[in-house]
């Protein structure tokens, strides 16, 4: 095929197999138009609205606007919506998103805001000043000393699969070390805008998080980073973190297969932490209430990410066994470590005080629609990982 601008390509210039795929391989986005009826809630970076759809029976739906992208719609505004997830009845993403307020576009941002594009080559791609690019005021800090050498100086890095683990990890960590400076790094396996997470907004407001870094295609954190590696170095050497927590944004994708879920990135995060001389702490995904057998006890997600993708030393944190579930999880963790590709060690901490710490969370604890009373184990083992990380700061872990 002759080279030329994309705009000059036609079906007749494409190979036959590709031309056929144009009509068979399509990503469908379901558009809707509506009118803003009321504001349902707001938090930093996002506003949720009740929007009445145009045409048909005029259903009123929940719709979320990211104010940095589309401005802040007002009651009576006509809005264009992406309603795909809402119409499919999805869980975390099951609401409409405001794509544009066509009669009132937001003002252009100030010039000179950086050159790193995220959500690249989509209609809503944005340009940011990344912490690691040349024009960043922090570029020098990342190109000298320990940061340039790729050295986290032994900083504990707690890794988890689900976004819902974040407040639980912090509960266990801060109950042990309330003075610890904790930075959250949001990877791009789930939601890309950090503004989607009410939990992060609440944790920042409560002072439980010292700062945030969005890495890869994720965006909207206090700092942006091109890669997880540079994001971890920024957490340590720019934000002065004592502990980093790495978890994807809300909206884990899973398929029920061994490899087809976005939580595989948890294993890669442990590899990154070790490469940069951090101390990897793996928060186990555990459930006592999930109806799916593959997620009961230690989830198959943790078994794959930590047992087969992690290639480096890391700590698997369990509790001292109390009851049948505790004994099951400890046995599963030991089996996982014994057969792991990397060098995993099973570390145990006591449960005492973790329930009280979890109940003191400034944000609601919820995973797969279940709260602390419905699935205590889901939060307990994340809190245990936080407690273990705090003790690494004191040299007393294990």
The alpha carbon of 167 is separated from its chain's Cα centroid by a whole number of angstroms, namely 12
pLDDT for the residue numbered 296: 73
- pLDDT per residue as tens digits for the range 240-292: 999 999 999 998 888 888 888 898 999 999 999 999 999 999 999 998 877 67
Higher pLDDT, 173 or 23: 173
Binned at pLDDT 50, 70 and 90, residue 209 comes out as very high
- pLDDT per residue as tens digits for the range 305-364: 999 999 999 999 999 988 889 999 999 999 999 999 999 999 999 999 999 999 999 999
Cβ–Cβ contacts within 10 Å for residue 110, how many?
6
In the predicted model, is pLDDT for residue 7 greater than 50?
no
* Nearest alpha-carbon partner for 339 in 371, 362, 310: 310
Instruction: Report the pLDDT averaged over residues 27-44.
Output: 91
**Residue 170 near residue 232, CB atoms below 8 Å:** no
Q: pTM for the whole thing? A: 0.90
Binned at pLDDT 50, 70 and 90, residue 19 comes out as low
What is the spatial distance between Cα 383 and Cα 356, in angstroms, rounded to a whole number?
11
Higher pLDDT, 215 or 110: 215
Q: Mean pLDDT, the chain, as a whole number?
A: 90
Whole-angstrom distance between the N-terminal and C-terminal Cα of the chain?
A: 62
% of the chain exceeding 70 in pLDDT: 89
Higher pLDDT, 385 or 5: 385
Binned at pLDDT 50, 70 and 90, residue 396 comes out as very low
Phi-psi region of 159 (alpha: psi -120 to 50; beta: other; left: phi over 0): beta
pLDDT for the residue numbered 366: 94
Instruction: Report the pLDDT averaged over residues 70-84.
Output: 95
pLDDT for the residue numbered 1: 38
Pairing between β-strand 31-43 and β-strand 78-82 as defined by DSSP bridges: antiparallel
What is the spatial distance between Cα 249 and Cα 161, in angstroms, rounded to a whole number?
10
pLDDT for the residue numbered 342: 95
Phi-psi region of 261 (alpha: psi -120 to 50; beta: other; left: phi over 0): beta
In the predicted model, is pLDDT for residue 229 greater than 80?
yes
Instruction: Report the pLDDT averaged over residues 147-160.
Output: 96
Binned at pLDDT 50, 70 and 90, residue 27 comes out as low
Please, what are the domains in the chain? 31-100 (2.40.50), 139-394 (3.40.50)
* Nearest alpha-carbon partner for 387 in 315, 331, 338: 315
In the predicted model, is pLDDT for residue 6 greater than 80?
no
What's the Cα-to-Cα distance from 169 to each of 105, 164, 253, 291, 380, rounded to whole Å? 40, 9, 21, 24, 9
In the predicted model, is pLDDT for residue 293 greater than 70?
no
Angle between helices 376-394 and 323-338 (to 10 degrees): 60
What is the spatial distance between Cα 224 and Cα 247, in angstroms, rounded to a whole number?
15
Alpha helices by DSSP H, listed for the chain, are 16-24, 67-70, 84-88, 139-142, 145-148, 165-176, 198-205, 228-237, 265-275, 300-304, 323-338, 354-359, 376-394
pLDDT for the residue numbered 398: 45
């Amino acid at each position: 095929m002759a080279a030329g601008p994309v705009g000059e390509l036609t079906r007749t210039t494409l190979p036959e197999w590709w031309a056929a795929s144009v009509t068979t391989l399509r990503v469908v986005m379901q558009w809707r138009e509506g009118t803003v009826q009321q504001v349902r809630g707001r938090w930093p970076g996002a506003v949720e609205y009740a929007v009445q759809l145009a045409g048909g029976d005029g259903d009123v739906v929940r719709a979320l606007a990211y104010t940095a992208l589309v401005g802040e719609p007002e009651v009576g505004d006509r809005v264009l919506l992406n309603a795909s997830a809402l119409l499919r009845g999805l869980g975390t993403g099951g609401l409409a998103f405001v794509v544009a307020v066509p009669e009132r576009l937001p003002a252009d941002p100030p010039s000179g805001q950086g050159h790193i594009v995220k959500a690249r080559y989509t209609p809503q791609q944005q340009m940011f000043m990344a912490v690691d690019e040349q024009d960043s005021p922090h570029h020098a800090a990342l190109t000298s000393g320990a940061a340039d050498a790729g050295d986290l100086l032994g900083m504990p890095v707690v890794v988890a699969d689900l976004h819902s683990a974040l407040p639980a990890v912090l509960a266990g960590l801060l109950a042990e070390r309330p003075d610890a400076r904790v930075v959250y790094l949001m990877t791009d396996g789930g939601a890309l805008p950090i503004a989607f997470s009410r939990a992060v907004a609440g944790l920042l407001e409560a002072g439980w998080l010292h700062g945030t870094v969005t890495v890869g295609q994720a965006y909207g954190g206090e700092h942006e980073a091109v890669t997880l590696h540079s994001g971890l170095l920024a957490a340590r050497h720019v934000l002065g973190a004592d502990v980093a927590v790495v978890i994807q944004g809300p909206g884990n994708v899973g398929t029920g297969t061994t490899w087809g879920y976005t939580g595989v990135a948890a294993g890669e995060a442990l590899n990154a932490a070790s490469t940069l001389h951090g101390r990897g702490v793996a928060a186990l995904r555990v459930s006592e209430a999930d109806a799916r057998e593959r997620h009961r006890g230690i989830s198959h997600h943790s078994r794959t990410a930590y047992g087969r993708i992690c290639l480096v030393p890391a700590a698997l944190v369990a509790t001292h066994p109390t009851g049948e579930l505790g004994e099951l999880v400890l046995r599963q963790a030991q089996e996982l470590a014994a057969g792991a590709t990397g060098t995993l060690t099973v570390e145990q901490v006591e449960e005492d005080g973790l329930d009280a710490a979890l109940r003191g969370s400034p944000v609601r604890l919820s995973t797969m629609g279940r709260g602390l009373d419905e699935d205590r184990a889901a939060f307990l083992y994340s809190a245990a990982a936080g407690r273990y990380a705090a003790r690494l700061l004191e040299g007393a872990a294990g």
